[in-house]
Amino acid sequence: MQKNRIHYVQRQFASQIKSIEVEMRLVSKETIQVAVLGVGFGLMHVKTLAEKPGTLRLKMVCDMDEARLEAARRALGEKAEGILFTQDYHDILNDPDIDVVDLALPHHLHLRFTEEFAAAGKHIMLDKPLARTEEEGRAIVAAAQRNDVQLMVAFNFRFAPMYQAIQKCISSGAIGQVLLGLTRHNQRFYYPGGSNWRNSKSVGGGAVIGSGVHNIDFMRFCLGDPSEVYACGVNDAKRLDAEAGAAVVFRYASGTVVNFFCNWCKSSHNADASAVFGEWEFFGETGELRIVLDKGLCVSRLDDSEEVVDYDKNATIITAFTNLWRHFEECLRTGKTPLTNGEEALKTQHLIEMVYTSMKTGNPVCF
């Protein structure tokens, strides 16, 4: 009895600590002030936040590259008014009014900057992938936990209406148990003379971690974690010192198999469905689900019926980023854990690591 009581008191105490922790993470100010660091792809976040979604307000934009910073200012036009543009990230770090920083930086900088901003008490939106390696990813998650700040990884596919519709179709059993999945990423990746950091493995370059991470994370969103991975990488040493592509097979304990073709070797600029959306096909026990260019998402069944799934067809990439930021806003207001929080992103990172291990050893790798 005494022992039970101690457990009860401990539990009560633990739940008090938990609610204090959650309290600490809440942002209760009228507006949530955000800064974006890095305006390569970060320009997408800048444009999204400049629309003032919900109670989120863009206060500062930083890039050490002056030309890029100016381009960001020009891209905003009149909306740039009132936003501070700076080349020195310490301006974000030292501004107590900034609640959230969006880190849109090359992969080798994710750990260093997450640690620095988390220690300054800033909540963090981190561009995908979480990190270069699982080990770095764990350090990033630990930095956020240690400093009691929220961490969300910007896996924007999960917030795009079409992708959300795919996930809903699968989880609602619209095609029955999934037997086979097929996904492709096709991209022209051509930066002559190694002029881009993504060319280089050591800073986190490579087709799988750079682009394939989206497909792998979305596969996990739909189907959960596979039990086995087999991957073959492709090199194109004249262009990249990281992999230029890979063919990957994911096997699930349920028997489901997903085939992933990740390609940075495309020569042309022409956009097929896989370049526009990433291509997805799922074949289930009772039907199949496909993205069809000009039609959208189609479900075909064994009884020969076909259904075009309804979702917001006018949605743009900005819609996905707006949804992503509104979700983070809700988490900051309520203490809710983001859908793509650090631990969730670590699981995707683990699969990336399995892919690379399989590519290196030539053997299948178990989860």
Closer CB to ligand NAD, 89 or 280, in the complex: 89
3-state secondary structure of 343: helix
Stretch that binds ligand NAD, among 52-60, 105-113, 264-272, 339-347 (CB under 6 A): 105-113
3-state secondary structure of 221: helix
Site for ligand NAD in 137-176 (CB under 6 A): 154, 156
Out of 127, 136, 288, 329, the only residue in the binding site for ligand NAD (CB under 6 A) is 127
If binding is defined by CB under 6 A, does position 63 make contact with ligand NAD?
A: yes
Out of 9, 14, 26, 64, the only residue in the binding site for ligand NAD (CB under 6 A) is 64
If binding is defined by CB under 6 A, does position 296 make contact with ligand NAD?
A: no
Least distance from ligand NAD to the Cβ atom of residue 210, Å: 6
CA 200 remoteness from chain centre: 21
Least distance from ligand NAD to the Cβ atom of residue 333, Å: 24
Orientation angle between helical segments 66-76 and 42-50, nearest 10 degrees: 30
Beta bridge partners of 247: 232, 261
Out of 50, 104, 143, 174, the only residue in the binding site for ligand NAD (CB under 6 A) is 104
3-state secondary structure of 358: helix
Out of 31, 55, 68, 182, the only residue in the binding site for ligand NAD (CB under 6 A) is 68
If binding is defined by CB under 6 A, does position 41 make contact with ligand NAD?
A: yes
Least distance from ligand NAD to the Cβ atom of residue 157, Å: 8
The sign of the torsion formed by the CA atoms of 87, 89, 90, 91 equals: positive
If binding is defined by CB under 6 A, does position 100 make contact with ligand NAD?
A: no
Least distance from ligand NAD to the Cβ atom of residue 202, Å: 15
Q: Are 124 and 153 in contact (CB under 8 A)?
A: no
Closer CB to ligand NAD, 127 or 288, in the complex: 127
Question: Distance between CA atoms of 306 and 298, rounded to whole angstroms?
Answer: 7
Residues ≥6 apart with Cβ < 8 Å to 1: none
The Cβ of residue 78 has, within 10 Å, a number of other Cβ atoms equal to 6
Percentages helix, strand, coil for the chain, rounded to the nearest 5? 45, 25, 35
Closer CB to ligand NAD, 63 or 344, in the complex: 63
If binding is defined by CB under 6 A, does position 132 make contact with ligand NAD?
A: no
Closer CB to ligand NAD, 228 or 241, in the complex: 241
Question: Distance between CA atoms of 143 and 116, rounded to whole angstroms?
Answer: 9
Least distance from ligand NAD to the Cβ atom of residue 159, Å: 10
Question: Distance between CA atoms of 244 and 266, rounded to whole angstroms?
Answer: 10
The Cβ of residue 137 has, within 10 Å, a number of other Cβ atoms equal to 26
Stretch that binds ligand NAD, among 20-28, 34-42, 138-146, 234-242 (CB under 6 A): 34-42
Q: Are 224 and 344 in contact (CB under 8 A)?
A: no
Residues at the interface with ligand NAD (CB under 6 A): 37-42, 62-65, 68, 89, 104-107, 109, 127-128, 154, 156, 197, 210
